[in-house]
Amino acid sequence: MTSFLFPGQGSQYVGMAKDFHDNFKIVRSVFDEIEDATSLSLRKTIFENPSNELNLTNFTQISIFSSSYAIFKVIETEFDLDKMNIDFMLGHSLGEYTALACSNKINLSDCAKLLKLRGELMNNAVEPNKSGMAALIGLASEKVQDIIENKELKIQIANDNSKIQIVISGMNENIDECEQIFLNNGAKKFVKLNVSAAFHSNLMIEAQNKLENYIDDINFLESNINIISNYSAKSSNDNDIITKCLSKQMANKVRWTESIQELHNLKETNLIEIGPGKILSGLVKRINDSFKIISINEINDLKLLK
């Protein structure tokens, strides 16, 4: 039994998937289709990064998606996926959209258009430089939530990434005000993140509502792969449930720790991270070390599948 994991924002780097692009026709075809659907010059953004576009949310998300999906298509064409017994797919934030495309729940063009819009909505949801996010190292989600409630802090948990890494979202002034409070209550590190807004918080509600209208218009398809939702941290193959959870994802917490524990509860054993970087592999090992996990990020990594 094997599950595929797909990374989210923060995993991007200049030149990601370029070795796949240069060596596999299927990858070039994937980029052709996504660029046609979105009217974006993604290969220029990803491979050359003019004006630091790759780190702008409205380009970052669709770029990571394109790279991850392209690598997946190589795996799909070069290896026998049936022998892998793939049961579940999941992704971190935007990675959930990659999971939906790779599982054939959404066709490629529709998913690319959705993610282009998602990036634009999230980037423009709040006035620039007014809100943000910070990572807390050394505290579990329950402890962070207790501190938020007891101290009446005006921030929210955005990502429950592992048992010792939590990301909070809020207005910058409120994030700054709570730094010392968390450090005084057990956090080993407090790191402000280089992001354009407070993702996965109630500051995204308006953007979430706009995106929901477009999600409702998407034709979700049937497939045998189960999706584990960021919003519910539960597995489902019911398109109505998947759609409802996806519609609530942007303004709510990414329940990554619970999602990985859900995989464990479902007796999953083998995990494959597909896409730029190895961030998810590191998080998984901190959550539960019972999994066998590999990361496919470069062509050389394909040998790990053999």
| Residue 134 three-state SS | strand
User: Cα–Cα distance between 196 and 212 in angstroms, integer?
Assistant: 21
Please tell me whether residues 115 and 88 are part of one structural domain.
yes
Tokens, residue 230: 């960021």
User: Cα–Cα distance between 275 and 152 in angstroms, integer?
Assistant: 38
The continuous run of DSSP H or E covering 296 comes out as strand 292-296
User: Cα–Cα distance between 30 and 287 in angstroms, integer?
Assistant: 33
Instruction: Give the pLDDT of residue 128.
Output: 81
- Per the prediction, the chain carries an average pLDDT of 95
Please tell me whether residues 212 and 121 are part of one structural domain.
yes
Please tell me whether residues 186 and 206 are part of one structural domain.
no
Please tell me whether residues 174 and 63 are part of one structural domain.
no
Which among 192, 225, 240 is the end of a domain?
192
Count how many residues are written for the chain. Answer: 306
Report residue 83's pLDDT band, with 50, 70 and 90 as the boundaries: confident
Q: What does the pLDDT look like over 259-293, one tens digit per residue?
A: 999 999 999 999 999 999 999 999 999 999 999 99
Q: What does the pLDDT look like over 161-220, one tens digit per residue?
A: 999 999 999 999 999 999 999 999 999 999 999 888 899 999 999 999 999 999 999 999
User: What is the domain count for the chain?
Assistant: 2
Please tell me whether residues 184 and 209 are part of one structural domain.
no
Q: Is 93 a catalytic residue?
A: yes
According to DSSP, the β-strands at 86-91 and 131-137 are: unpaired
- Rounded mean pLDDT of 27-35? 98
- Rounded mean pLDDT of 1-21? 95
Report residue 46's pLDDT band, with 50, 70 and 90 as the boundaries: very high
Burial 128-163 (b: 16+ CB within 10 A, else e): eeebbbbbbebbbbebbbebbeeeebebbbbbbbbb
**Residue 213: DSSP 8-state:** H
**Residue 152: DSSP 8-state:** T
Please tell me whether residues 90 and 21 are part of one structural domain.
yes
Please tell me whether residues 246 and 108 are part of one structural domain.
yes
Q: Of 11, 67, 93, 259, which is the active-site residue?
A: 93
Residue type, 160: D
Report residue 1's pLDDT band, with 50, 70 and 90 as the boundaries: confident
Please tell me whether residues 268 and 119 are part of one structural domain.
yes
Which among 144, 160, 192 is the end of a domain?
192
Tokens, residue 272: 């494959």
Q: Which domain holds residue 96?
A: 2-125+201-305
Report residue 47's pLDDT band, with 50, 70 and 90 as the boundaries: very high
Please tell me whether residues 188 and 218 are part of one structural domain.
no
Q: Of 200, 201, 235, 259, which is the active-site residue?
A: 200
The answer to whether 140 and 163 are in contact (CB under 8 A) is yes
User: Cα–Cα distance between 169 and 176 in angstroms, integer?
Assistant: 11
Instruction: Give the pLDDT of residue 274.
Output: 98
Please tell me whether residues 28 and 148 are part of one structural domain.
no
- Rounded mean pLDDT of 152-159? 97
Q: Is 21 a catalytic residue?
A: no
Please tell me whether residues 113 and 30 are part of one structural domain.
yes
- Rounded mean pLDDT of 70-97? 92
Which among 168, 192, 216 is the end of a domain?
192
Res 82 pLDDT > 90: no
Burial of 216 (0-12, 13-18, 19+ CB in 10 A): exposed
Instruction: Give the pLDDT of residue 80.
Output: 84
Please tell me whether residues 137 and 89 are part of one structural domain.
no
222: CATH: 3.40.366.10
178: CATH: 3.30.70.250
Q: What does the pLDDT look like over 85-143, one tens digit per residue?
A: 899 999 999 999 999 999 999 999 999 999 999 999 998 998 888 999 999 999 999 99
Report residue 306's pLDDT band, with 50, 70 and 90 as the boundaries: confident
